């Protein structure tokens, strides 16, 4: 049987964009052929998609890396590179994505919900795109942008209608095996259940049949919310349950009284997440065939014996009614519009480095200077024009830049100098500035 894994890590790497081509027409009887370099193709994105056919995060435990295809480079004769294929990564319904620091970035609770984990790099434009009346023979092209690359934590929170909550060895596994086709491990010792088990419970006739999913959660003990026992590892799976079935042991061998068990269980649920105490619940007296002293009147909603099947029909009927009521008060999966999550737009910002220099951060700014040869005057002019259009000049001024300060924008590094006309990054004024430029690769 495949191992159940509910936490894992993901490394998402989107495809890089292809480079634009620097090419000129070379044909017989054509003098001074113009530029005809094609654009590079876009890389592929990495998408996470909630899929009911995925039961756990096992596939990420040993292989966390997911990479989309790169775009191909442009060629001469205006032949554009092909786009890289996006990668669709199926994850279980109920997967929550967080940063390595623990900040939640996305939740996929419904079948078909998807999230853009890594955005592809765009392809670079070929030199044919930079032809103008002023620039008749551009000898430069754009490099493709690198695709995003991130590490994430994945955490699975099961989506079940009913969660069975109780002390270890209280009969939860026997109950789910009796009312569904689930086959959990059952034995007469604590912590037999090491992973959550799901079962589908069917009740009613052909015309009024009701189905709901029941989850058997490993047993809770006092202090579970603080990490004691095994149940604390799986408390997250209770969060999405519509109804709670709280089992208390009525047998004479129970070490804690029924009222004591209930007090501990409700306290642990409230300590973990207070809203769980507002969830519809049924208090179930388990193992009634081995009952000792009677529980206080009004404490138990229904008594059952999963072995003799006593009270099971009554319990299933009660749960079905509560589940139906919870479903009617929320939007059903069939009515849920598939949600597509995208990260917030990457804003351009100016950061001050420890050495006193200024760095302009943001994908738009990086693309503005991502050319194949920044030592080319035409490429440098185009970079300055783009930066001015993005308002980098004003942003640096607001950040407190002074003449002679060092500035880094992607692969472009230069020394800031403002001339008397105060035109900042106006490319027409570029030759008059005392500026040192160097390009990285």
Q: What is the pLDDT of residues 268-323, one digit of tens each?
A: 888 888 999 999 999 999 888 887 667 778 889 999 888 888 899 899 999 999 98
CATH assignment at residue 40:
2.70.210.12
- Residues of the chain short of pLDDT 70, as ranges, are 1-4, 181-195, 205-208, 219, 221-234, 292-293, 330-338, 418-441
244 and 188 share a domain?
A: yes
Q: Which of 302, 335, 368 delimits the end of a domain?
A: 335
47 and 145 share a domain?
A: yes
49 and 148 share a domain?
A: yes
User: Which pLDDT score is estimated for 381?
Assistant: 87
Q: Which residues contact 400 (CB under 8 A, 6 or more apart)?
A: none
Q: Which of 139, 156, 173 delimits the end of a domain?
A: 156
* Residue 56 domain flag: yes
Q: What is the pLDDT of residues 350-362, one digit of tens each?
A: 999 888 899 999 8
User: Which pLDDT score is estimated for 142?
Assistant: 93
Nearest one of 91, 315, 128, 105 to 214, comparing CA atoms: 315
* Residue 1 domain flag: no
Which of 125-155 are b and which e, b meaning 16 or more Cβ less than 10 Å from the residue's Cβ? Answer: bbbbbbeeeebeebbbbbbbbbbbebebbbb
CATH assignment at residue 200:
3.40.50.300
Q: What is the pLDDT of residues 26-80, one digit of tens each?
A: 877 777 778 999 999 999 999 999 988 887 888 898 899 999 999 999 999 999 9
* Residue 429 domain flag: yes
Range of the domain at 15: 7-156
* Residue 344 domain flag: no
Residue 114's DSSP bridge partners are 49, 340
User: Which pLDDT score is estimated for 297?
Assistant: 81
Q: Which of 335, 368, 393 delimits the end of a domain?
A: 335
**Residue 142 dihedral angles phi and psi, to the nearest 5°:** -80, 145
380 and 404 share a domain?
A: yes
**Residue 382 dihedral angles phi and psi, to the nearest 5°:** -65, -40
Number of domains, the chain = 3
261 and 364 share a domain?
A: no
254 and 326 share a domain?
A: yes
């Amino acid at each position: 049987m495949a191992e159940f894994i509910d936490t894992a890590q993901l490394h998402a790497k989107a495809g890089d964009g292809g480079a634009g081509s620097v090419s000129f027409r070379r044909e017989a009887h054509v003098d001074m052929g113009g530029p005809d370099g094609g654009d590079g193709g876009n890389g592929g994105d990495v998408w996470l998609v909630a899929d009911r056919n995925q039961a756990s995060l096992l596939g990420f435990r040993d292989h966390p890396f997911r990479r989309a295809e790169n775009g191909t480079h442009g060629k001469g004769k205006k032949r554009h590179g092909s786009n890289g294929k996006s990668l669709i990564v199926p994850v279980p319904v109920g997967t929550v994505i967080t940063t390595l620091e623990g900040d939640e970035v996305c939740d996929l609770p419904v079948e078909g919900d998807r999230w853009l984990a890594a955005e592809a790099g765009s392809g670079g434009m070929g030199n044919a795109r930079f032809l103008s009346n002023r620039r008749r023979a551009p000898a430069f092209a754009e490099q493709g942008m690198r695709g995003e690359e991130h590490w994430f934590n994945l955490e699975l929170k099961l989506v079940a209608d009913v969660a069975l909550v109780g002390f270890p060895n209280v009969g939860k596994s026997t109950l789910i095996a009796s009312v569904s086709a689930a086959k959990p491990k059952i034995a007469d010792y604590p912590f037999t259940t090491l992973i959550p088990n799901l079962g589908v419970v069917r009740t009613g006739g052909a015309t009024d049949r009701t189905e709901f999913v029941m989850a058997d959660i490993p047993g809770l003990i006092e202090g579970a919310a603080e990490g004691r026992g095994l149940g604390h590892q799986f408390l997250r799976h209770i969060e999405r349950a519509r109804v709670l079935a709280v089992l208390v042991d009525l047998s004479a061998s129970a070490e804690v009284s029924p009222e004591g068990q209930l007090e501990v269980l409700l306290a642990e649920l409230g300590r973990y997440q207070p809203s769980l105490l507002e969830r519809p619940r049924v208090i179930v007296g388990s193992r009634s065939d081995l009952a000792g002293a009677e529980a206080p009147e009004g404490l138990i909603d229904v008594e059952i014996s999963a072995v003799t099947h006593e009270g099971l029909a009554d319990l299933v009927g009660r749960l079905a009614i509560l589940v139906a009521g919870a479903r009617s008060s929320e939007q059903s999966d069939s009515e849920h519009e598939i949600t597509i999550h995208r990260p917030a737009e990457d804003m351009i910002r100016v950061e001050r480095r420890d050495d006193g220099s200024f760095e302009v951060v943001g994908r738009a700014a990086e693309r503005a200077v991502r050319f194949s040869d920044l030592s080319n005057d035409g490429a440098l002019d185009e970079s300055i024009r783009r930066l001015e259009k993005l308002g980098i000049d004003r942003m640096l001024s607001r950040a407190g830049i002074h003449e002679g300060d060092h500035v880094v924008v992607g692969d472009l590094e230069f020394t800031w100098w403002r001339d008397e006309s105060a035109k900042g990054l106006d490319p027409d004024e570029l030759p008059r500035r005392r500026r040192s430029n160097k390009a990285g690769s």
